[in-house]
Amino acid sequence: MNFIRGTVMAIVLLLQPIVLLFKLLFGRRAQDAPQQLQAINHSAIVPATVVADSEDGIKNSNNISQQSDATGSASSPSAPPAGSNSGDDDSISLPLPFAEYEVFLSFRGPDTRHQFTDILYRFLVRLKIRTFRDDDELRTGEGIWPNLVKAIGQSKIHVPVMSETYAHSKWCLMELSEMAKRRKQEKGHIILPIFYMTNPRDVRHQTGPYQSAFQQHDKDFDSGTVQEWRAALNEIGALKGWHVKSKDEQGAVSECVSDVVWSHLSKNDNFSDTDELVGIDDSVEAVVEKLSLDVGGAAMVGLHGLGGIGKTTIARAVYNKISARFDRRSFLENIRETQQQKDGGISLQKKLISNSMRIDYVAPINSVEEGRRIIQDRVSQFKVLIILDDVDESFKFEEILGNSGNFACGSRFIITSRNMKLLSTFNESRCKLYEVREMGPQLSLQLFCKYAFKTDSPPQDFTTLSEKIVTTAAGLPLTLKVVGSLLFREEKSIWEDKLSMLEKAPQKEVKERLKISYDALEYETKQIFLDVACFFIGMEMKIASYYWRDCKFHPVNSINILLQRSMLKIGDDNEFQMHDQMRDMGRAIVCEENIEEPWMRSRVWDDKEGTELLLNKKGSKQVKAVRADYHRSFLGGMKPGQFQNLPELRYFEAEFAEFSGDFNNLVPNLKWLRLHFHYNDGQEPTNFDMSNLVILDLKGSIFLTDDWGGWSQIKVCLNLKVLNLKECALKRVTGGTIGMLKCLEELDLTNLQCNNWKQRVVDIGELPSLKVLKTIGVKHIPSYFESNTDDDEEEDDDDEVESEGEGIEKLPPSLKVLHTSFRVANLSELLELEELVVENCDFGLEIPPMWWKVSKLKSLTLHKTKFIVVAGTAPSFDQLRLPSSLTTLNISNCPYLEWIPTLENLNNLTELTITKCSKVLEVRGIQGLTSLQSLVIDDRDDLIHLCGLADLMRLKTFEIKESAPLSREALLLNDDSDDVFTPKIILYHIDELQGN
């Protein structure tokens, strides 16, 4: 034993010089490392642009200080050495870009690095929140500032830890100023200040230790810079935050901050459509049990069963039930449909990455292999919940996502499919299967009655008929819904007739039973149903209605019938939605028009078949609608000969189309043209008959030359109702193109890039039929357009009008919807206006003195609008009113807005949002909003106390921004005059708020 002890002592003595050498080489980071980045897990690495500025790039394990119980961090989670790798760096093929940081943590190293900041950082790490941990001491060169600005700009949440000597660091003040600037200019940036061992009053007013810091700054920096820093401290020091008064509070405050950060980042993405949730509790519990949530490793469960049997509904319910247990989650719907589209696999990968990383992933993915590498590098490191809905043979799990065994421990996958055999091939046959069976008789009857009678049970005289019809539905929820909706309020004789038809339908053919509802439709409604099934899923209802009306259909009546019969749904954005079984049935009906020859069908929705039809110059009088994608072909673009056999074509949609040649009136019946193309010199159509065109959608197209001959073609579209130039890139619009469109009702110029608008374009105010105008994001537009007196006259550059948001002098009184970034001068004349959105308007919204008398305005939104100006001679402040017809009022991110007109006359208001309006000190009249159902405000005591919640008898939703939800989380309130959060937590519950 003595020999062993001696040997160990000898080894320790030999190692001591080596340890000292390492400390000398790597211990002085303050001098050697200009900056550091903190990643959230073992495998993250620093972007190459940052590594070039840093010798060691990342903090090593010595930077994590292990706190004792005395520091209040006994409950702190243990963290891996920040920035360390579990393996070789070569194993990571892609770096973590700045865009993927979610929190920017700013602090003064000497004050908090080895205490509060480390504790907070470990809490954030535990929640898998990607945190950029900054430290002013580690910066030595000005070249790193652009990287810090980028990190601040791309982080969603900023957490400045304002300690006693925070203001002594120019870096900290520069960062704080940048945070304040981002908060004002960009939506979505949140600042959560922490006042560590310092008085918030000193921060706001630069007194105490902050006063001495600024005495030195006044000598070292110009007055403009110092004033900017003072303004930032004053603004951020007035925000709600946390006041850490002693080291004993460090752990509790860190945990509270991390929970609030998580609540901001974790959006409520649960599904709310619960109308189908009849009798599925047992199925949900069975699936959850098969997932074995308490067991390590990655697991997979496959739901299989007939189409329309409720697989997706159960998957959504499971998702809602368990998603909060995972670091990241993603629900990928309609995979079978997506896989059939061009680059469908890449689309699925982008959605998965966006959902999982909580970002809008817009970077190009050039191949499925590249997308798989990104998923394996950046998504698989998290504990994820991924739902893969409606999978068929075309979906290859490992090709799209990679090996499921590489995902973090505890990850779970749920796959729905009609094919049980297919599911058994996933995950090397370790996929647990769950068969979704038909509903039992009692539950089937309950679901059927829900749609047939709007109750849970049938009337006595319909009981026998109901039971017989339920039997024919064979327990399929979709069939029960559709048939029940079909029979709602129908006579008993109709019920008996439909029962006879159902009994004759093949027992296993869901389509045949659903088709009974289709067969009962009138001709017009059938055509509208088939149009939606083939082309218009996801399309805004109002846009498609223009098309149908010009086809002499009556869309309002037909859509209502389809809604009543559960054959169609309308989404939150008024877009068409349809169950995949309904969609497949509609497309099958079209295919049956001619099984072998697609060009003999009424609708060719498959872009492969559509492109083949055109390139082979096929077609027939039967063809009414075609979708094509010229990106799939190397045979050139759209040429006249391709349309010679399509005389009845009414709808045409094409991607990557080059459009040129003499069309010689080949498509005289075309009503809707959707093109995404890049125009080059010499590529323009001639004699393209647009006289019957109702909708022209050129969204995202690029016009690369100054003069596109197509403008002269558009002039003759005298029947045009909708013109969409959203996100187009133009060089100029000339010669009265827009002004000639006297029937135009909707004009969308959102984010249009146009350098030169010619002055002689007819005034938008002279478009007598215009109802919808959208100009948000347009950089250059004339303040008004003069009449075109000479189309042929050459115009020089002096005639060009460029304006950045100065205003539009005159708008047509017919307008019903206006989205704009420009000053609206004649607002009092827009008596038909129903929806007004003013965004990024430097000149503000002018409220006419008698505007409150407007009777049709339902929705008003102000966003990033500096102030409200009273036009002309204004009455007294107390007399200003908004239109009493308003049902929705949203005022957000308006930091320079100082007052809001009283709300006391808004008796019809149901939704009110007032957030990020820091200078608004009072909102009058909230107590009198007797119809209010939804209230969203900032977490400010002054606004909260003024709400008078007890008087809002119809209030259903009360949301406080920049705070945890009131129903589940703690609302932190101050208990002193510092107007900041303290560790004290007061719990409020919805029942208490409602006085129950």
Which helix (H) or strand (E) covers residue 388, if one does?
strand 384-388
Q: What is the mean pLDDT of the chain?
A: 74
Lowest mean pLDDT, pick from 11-15, 143-147, 670-674:
11-15
How many CB atoms neighbour CB 464 within 10 A? 10
527 vs 523: CA distance, rounded Å: 6
Task: Check residue 565 and give its pLDDT.
Answer: 82
Among the three residues 496, 519, 542, which one is the final residue of a domain in this structure? 519
Q: pLDDT at residue 943 above 80?
A: no
Task: Check residue 193 and give its pLDDT.
Answer: 94
279 vs 277: CA distance, rounded Å: 6
195 vs 939: CA distance, rounded Å: 18
Read off the pLDDT of residues 719-729 as tens digits, 9 standing for 90 and up: 999 999 888 87
User: Of the spans 128-132, 165-169, 344-348, which averages the highest pLDDT?
Assistant: 165-169
Give bridge partners of residue 912 from the DSSP assignment.
889, 935
Q: pLDDT at residue 632 above 50?
A: yes
How many CB atoms neighbour CB 646 within 10 A? 26
CATH number at residue 293: 3.40.50.300
Catalytic residue ranges: 175
Same domain as 362, residue 231: no
Instruction: Quickly tell me which residue has 């007032």 as its tokens.
Output: 914
Among the three residues 591, 624, 647, which one is the final residue of a domain in this structure? 591
Task: Check residue 971 and give its pLDDT.
Answer: 34
Task: Check residue 602 and give its pLDDT.
Answer: 95
On whether residue 50 sits in a domain, the answer given is: yes
Identify which of 718, 600, 610 has the alpha carbon closest to the alpha carbon of residue 656.
Answer: 610
On whether residue 901 sits in a domain, the answer given is: no
Task: Check residue 868 and give its pLDDT.
Answer: 66
User: Of the spans 140-149, 331-340, 473-482, 588-597, which averages the highest pLDDT?
Assistant: 588-597
Q: Dig out the tokens for 480 from the structure.
A: 């029960």
Read off the pLDDT of residues 411-462 as tens digits, 9 standing for 90 and up: 999 999 888 878 877 755 578 888 888 888 888 898 899 888 888 889 888 9
| Three-state secondary-structure class, residue 811 | coil
Task: Check residue 72 and give its pLDDT.
Answer: 34
On whether residue 256 sits in a domain, the answer given is: yes
Identify which of 578, 558, 472 has the alpha carbon closest to the alpha carbon of residue 516.
Answer: 472
Percentage of residues in the chain with pLDDT exceeding 90? 21
Same domain as 540, residue 466: no
Same domain as 316, residue 213: no
Task: Check residue 99 and give its pLDDT.
Answer: 40
Same domain as 166, residue 53: yes
Task: Check residue 61 and give its pLDDT.
Answer: 29
Predicted confidence band at 80 (pLDDT cuts at 50, 70, 90)?
very low
Give the mean pLDDT of 928-947: 71
Read off the pLDDT of residues 774-831 as tens digits, 9 standing for 90 and up: 988 776 554 433 333 334 333 333 333 333 445 566 788 899 999 988 877 778 788 8
| 57 or 187, higher pLDDT | 187
**Helices and strands per DSSP (H, E), number in the chain:** 31, 37
Q: pLDDT at residue 66 above 60?
A: no
Same domain as 133, residue 58: yes
pTM: 0.56
Burial 397-425 (b: 16+ CB within 10 A, else e): beebbbebeebbebbbbbbbbbeeebbee
146 vs 155: CA distance, rounded Å: 14
Q: pLDDT at residue 233 above 60?
A: yes
Task: Check residue 869 and give its pLDDT.
Answer: 59
284 vs 874: CA distance, rounded Å: 61
Task: Check residue 179 and give its pLDDT.
Answer: 92
Q: Cβ(112)–Cβ(136) under 8 Å?
A: no
Predicted confidence band at 946 (pLDDT cuts at 50, 70, 90)?
low
Read off the pLDDT of residues 363-385 as tens digits, 9 standing for 90 and up: 778 888 888 888 888 888 888 89
Give bridge partners of residue 818 from the DSSP assignment.
773, 836
Count how many domains the chain has: 4
What letter represents residue 61's amino acid?
S
Percentage of residues in the chain with pLDDT exceeding 70? 71
Q: Dig out the tokens for 23 from the structure.
A: 């400390």
Q: pLDDT at residue 881 above 50?
A: yes
Give DSSP secondary structure letters for 55-107. SS-B--GGGSPPPPGGGT-TTPPP-PPTT--SS-GGG--S---GGG--EEEEE
Task: Check residue 69 and give its pLDDT.
Answer: 33
CATH number at residue 38: 3.40.50.10140
* C-alpha to C-alpha distances, 876 to 107, 871, 880, 881, 946, nearest whole angstrom: 47, 13, 7, 11, 22
On whether residue 596 sits in a domain, the answer given is: no
3-state secondary structure 135-169: CHHHCCCHHHHHHHHHHHHHCCEEEEEECCCHHHC
Instruction: Quickly tell me which residue has 């409604």 as its tokens.
Output: 525
User: Of the spans 75-79, 350-354, 537-541, which averages the highest pLDDT?
Assistant: 537-541
Q: pLDDT at residue 100 above 90?
A: no
On whether residue 514 sits in a domain, the answer given is: yes
269 vs 100: CA distance, rounded Å: 20
Same domain as 322, residue 177: no
Give the mean pLDDT of 270-299: 76
Phi, psi of 543 (to 5 degrees): -65, -50
Predicted confidence band at 134 (pLDDT cuts at 50, 70, 90)?
low
Identify which of 622, 689, 677 has the alpha carbon closest to the alpha carbon of residue 649.
Answer: 622
On whether residue 17 sits in a domain, the answer given is: no
Identify which of 281, 663, 686, 275 has the alpha carbon closest to the alpha carbon of residue 481.
Answer: 275
Phi, psi of 166 (to 5 degrees): -55, -45
Can you give the residue range of the structural domain that contains 298? 281-435
994 vs 990: CA distance, rounded Å: 6
Same domain as 498, residue 544: no
Predicted confidence band at 551 (pLDDT cuts at 50, 70, 90)?
very high
Same domain as 94, residue 222: yes
DSSP 8-state assignment for residue 461: G
Read off the pLDDT of residues 68-77 as tens digits, 9 standing for 90 and up: 333 333 333 3
Lowest mean pLDDT, pick from 260-269, 626-635, 966-975:
966-975
851 vs 841: CA distance, rounded Å: 19
| 86 or 306, higher pLDDT | 306
Same domain as 118, residue 227: yes
Same domain as 221, residue 140: yes
On whether residue 66 sits in a domain, the answer given is: yes
Q: Cβ(494)–Cβ(597) under 8 Å?
A: no
How many CB atoms neighbour CB 491 within 10 A? 9
644: Cα within 13 Å, side-chain hemisphere: 10
What letter represents residue 513's amino acid?
R
Predicted confidence band at 678 (pLDDT cuts at 50, 70, 90)?
low
CATH number at residue 488: 1.10.8
Same domain as 314, residue 238: no
On whether residue 112 sits in a domain, the answer given is: yes
Give the mean pLDDT of 18-36: 36
Task: Check residue 46 and give its pLDDT.
Answer: 27
Q: pLDDT at residue 656 above 50?
A: yes
Among the three residues 558, 591, 624, which one is the final residue of a domain in this structure? 591
**977: buried, middle or exposed (CB in 10 Å: 19+, 13-18, 0-12)?**
exposed
Task: Check residue 531 and give its pLDDT.
Answer: 97
Same domain as 132, residue 95: yes
Q: Cβ(625)–Cβ(652) under 8 Å?
A: yes
Predicted confidence band at 611 (pLDDT cuts at 50, 70, 90)?
confident
